[in-house]
Structure 1
Amino acid sequence: MKSSRTLIVKERTALLRYLQSQYPETKRTALKQLLRHRAVFVNGNPVTRHDHVLEPKDRVVIERGAPAPVCKPSATMPEIVFEDRHIIVVNKPEGLLTIATEKETHRTAYRQVMAYVQEDRPHRGERIFIVHRLDRDTSGLLVFARTEEAKRAMQQNWESAEKKYYAVVEGVPREASGTIRSHLREHPKSLRMHSAPPSDEAKLAITKYLLIRSTRHFSLLEVKLETGRKNQIRAHLSEHGNPIVGDKKYDAHGNPIKRLGLHAYYLAFPHPISGKRLVFKTAIPEEFESLVNEEPGIGYRVSGFGHAKKGERIGKSRSPVETLQAKTSRMGNRRRSGIGFRVSGFGNAKKRRKER
């Protein structure tokens, strides 16, 4: 028994690219097999060339030998934060891909949210569309569109969306707040993003951070993205001496919370249809709190992004300057007892024996 799906093209594009946009969870090779087996029809005619040009209002029909299986929700289903007829916002857990890769095709946020909307309306051919992505090990707010119109509107304006993260990093930044600006490119072998001179491959990346709280060994930062490059926060914080906890790829020394210390907690953008400004927030993950609460009170209370109220303290809190002075005092005491410190990066202190 054959099943078919009919699609109406909205803009000029190549056939394979169009199929990939409609079936983001399907491998490229599988889509090419559909073409090879003459299972794709454009305006009633079978097409086998992947570079066939589609025009607006073309009718594309995909036939399959059997109905496509409907996704089933699993225990990894992200928490639904908001939904209406046009968008759906979820809180993605860490360890879950946004979209399929060659190695993992089933356990993805896309598949689980698709299963959710299909289960709700199984006979209406409900679909979702990718707007942006989060790394597998990053948790937090993720938006899917429920219509092509909403998808196009959001992607066209995504650079203007306001995105903030909580990051737990190793060490303490020397400055309580700052802006990291560089051009990032991907290393062809390690696949790490790194700063490089401006070029076609190296794109401008701007990351702002604000120190919220710190202990002797870890700091909780609020991070705001001005641009959206791959691994931007991870690369920038690592290059500035404070790698994210658990981020072995970007030089973290340990993983005390058994996960990457990065969470997309704040997202604000205009609704793609009504234009109304939407704001979504999630709480600091408990693992982050536990790591920076071992020595409560070293830090500022946050009052908006980029501002710390200098007189307002958390318990017995100290400002970053006071903290540095306290560390300097401790260093002096240790030197007198034969043990000294040398500062590495942005405040990671390492013990060494005093040279005699």
Structure 2
Amino acid sequence: MKRELTYIIQETDGTAALLTVQSFLKSRGYSHAVIVSLKKTPEGILKNGVWARAHDPLLPGDCLQVRIVEDSSSDHIVPRPLPFPVVYEDEDLLVVNKPADMPIHPSQGNYENTLANAAAWYFKEKGESFVYRCINRLDRDTTGLLILARHAYSAALLSRMVSARQIKREYLAVVRGTPDVSGIIDAPIGRKEGSTIERRVDFEHGEPARTHYELLYSEGGYSLVRLRLDTGRTHQIRVHMKYLGHPLPGDFLYCPDYTKIKRQALHSCRLSFLHPVTGHPLSFTAPLPDDMRSFFPSVSLNTL
């Protein structure tokens, strides 16, 4: 993978006494690790066409070129021909609509059935190197939109955007019963005592967690709700909706009712953010999966 970026230094980028190649790159979000990698790359940094050092000064009108080169792939990830529905792809990132029953990362017992394995196969078939960098998280059985970074620079920018809550995520969930038309669940979440994975609302020891929800439709004892998170705690939607009295069916931890669905009825339906490199606004949607749509046979949900 090779990515080249060009910058023309402007008067507003800094004074001649202070602006260097390194300080300019840091101002553009290049991490220390990425800058070190650029230093080691032949002609990784060029100033006016000449190989430059990190501490070289920059003046208005100078042309700074950056060459990001990643020739190796994640060697611990085995390529496997698994579903990998790409919603969007460019030189800096991908957006993928993850299927159910697919972990994001390899782990004990999950070495060849993950999104990482699918990504490795996808790029192997294209004849391209690819280091696996998944930016946002989804549980194994949650479907929907995920961002993968194509290189270390975009990964650094996107990770910073996640921390600053600049990537807006919306979810759709099927829940038992009929909640209020809309509301906010503001209840801290902590680990359940005696469990390594289960979480619960814990006002004494939990971390702050805040979920906005909106009722969209109800039928046959179930409802479809749209959700937006102010925080990103583990299992936040699943725990908060159970706390509200409206758990997600098919959830093996919080509502093990598999009569209508075999996994938690949760889907990441929308991602909106500014492109980390170009700054252009991006927005993506993924339609409601068939297993969640089947709860509401009397209505068309294509527009959700």
Q: Which of the residues 168, 176, 201 maps onto 2:174?
A: 168
Distance 1:128 1:85, change over 3 A: farther
Work out the CA distance in 1 between the residues paired with 2:244 and 2:284: 29
Corresponding residue of 1:134? 138
CA drift at 1:204: 1.1
Give the aligned residue type for 2:124.
Answer: Q
AA aligned to 1:208 is H
Letter of the structure 2 residue corresponding to residue 135 of structure 1: D
Matching of residues 158-237 of structure 1 within 5 Å: 158=162, 159-173=165-179, 175-190=180-195, 191-197=197-203, 199=205, 202-237=206-241
Q: 1:291 to 1:114 in 2, by over 3 A?
A: same
Structure having the larger proportion of residues in strand: 1
- In 1, Cα distance between equivalents of 2:136 and 2:260: 29
Distance 1:227 1:241 in 2: 20
Question: Structure 1 residues 166, 68: closer, same or farther in 2, change over 3 A?
Answer: closer
The residue identity in structure 2 corresponding to 1:94 is: A
Aligned with residue 72 of structure 1, among 71, 79, 91: 79
Task: Give the drift of 1:198.
Answer: 5.4
Instruction: Describe the shift of the 1:109–1:303 C-alpha distance in structure 2 as closer, same or farther (beyond 3 A).
Output: closer
Percent identity over the alignment? 28
Instruction: State the secondary structure of the residue aligned to 1:172.
Output: coil
One-letter code of the match for 2:185?
A: I
8 Å Cα contact 2:287/2:302 also seen in 1: no
Write the distance in 1 (CA, Å) between the matches of 2:122 and 2:229: 30
Higher RCO (C-alpha under 8 Å, 6+ residues apart) = 2
- Give the TM-score, by structure 2 length: 0.70
TM-score normalised according to structure 1 size: 0.60
Q: Is 1:102 aligned to residue 108 of structure 2? A: yes
What does residue 287 of structure 1 align with? 291
> Equivalents in 2 of 1:264, 1:233: separation in Å?
11
Letter in 2 for 1:183: P
Letter in 2 for 1:275: G
Distance change in 2, residues 1:239/1:72 (3 Å): same
**CA-to-partner distance for each residue in 1:191-214, whole Å, 9 max, x for gaps?**
311111255xx2211111111111
Structure 2: runs of 5 or more not aligned: 1-30, 34-53, 55-73
Q: Which amino acid aligns with 1:86?
A: D
Amino acid at match of 1:176: V
Deviation by residue 1:100-150 (Cα, 9 ceiling, x = unmatched): 11221111102211221232134xx33231212110000000111011110
**Aligned with residue 248 of structure 1, among 249, 252, 265:** 252
**Secondary structure of 1:249's match?**
coil
Runs ≥4 residues deviating over 3 A:
67-73, 252-255, 301-304
Q: Which digits, 9 at most, give the CA deviation of each residue in 1:269-327, with x for residues without a partner?
A: 11110111110001111222221235x59xxx9999xxxxxxxxxxxxxxxxxxxxxxx
- Give the 3 Å change call, closer, same or farther, for CA 214–135 of structure 1 in structure 2: same
Matched positions, count? 235
In the TM superposition, residue 85 of structure 1 has moved relative to its aligned partner by 0.7
In the alignment, is the contact (CA less than 8 A) between 1:183 and 1:205 conserved in 2? yes
Q: Which has the larger radius of gyration?
A: 1
Aligned equivalents of 2:204, 2:160: Cα separation in 1: 24
Q: In the alignment, does 2:116 pair up with 1:82?
A: no
2-structure distance, mates of 1:126, 1:248 = 34
Is the aligned partner of 1:115 residue 2:121?
yes
Find the partner of 1:150 among 154, 158, 163.
154
- Provide the C-alpha distance between the structure 1 equivalents of 2:77 and 2:246, rounded to a whole number of angstroms: 44
SS of the residue corresponding to residue 134 of structure 1 reads coil
**What letter corresponds to residue 189 of structure 2 in structure 1?**
L
CA contact (8 A) 1:117 1:127 kept: no
1:129 is paired with a residue of what secondary structure? Answer: coil
Structure 2 residue identity aligned to 1:79: P
Q: Report how far residue 89 of structure 1 moved.
A: 0.8
Alignment of 1:30-49 (within 5 A): none
Partner secondary structure for residue 208 of structure 2: strand
Cα drift, residue 168 of structure 1 = 0.6
Report the Cα offset of residue 256 of structure 1: 0.8
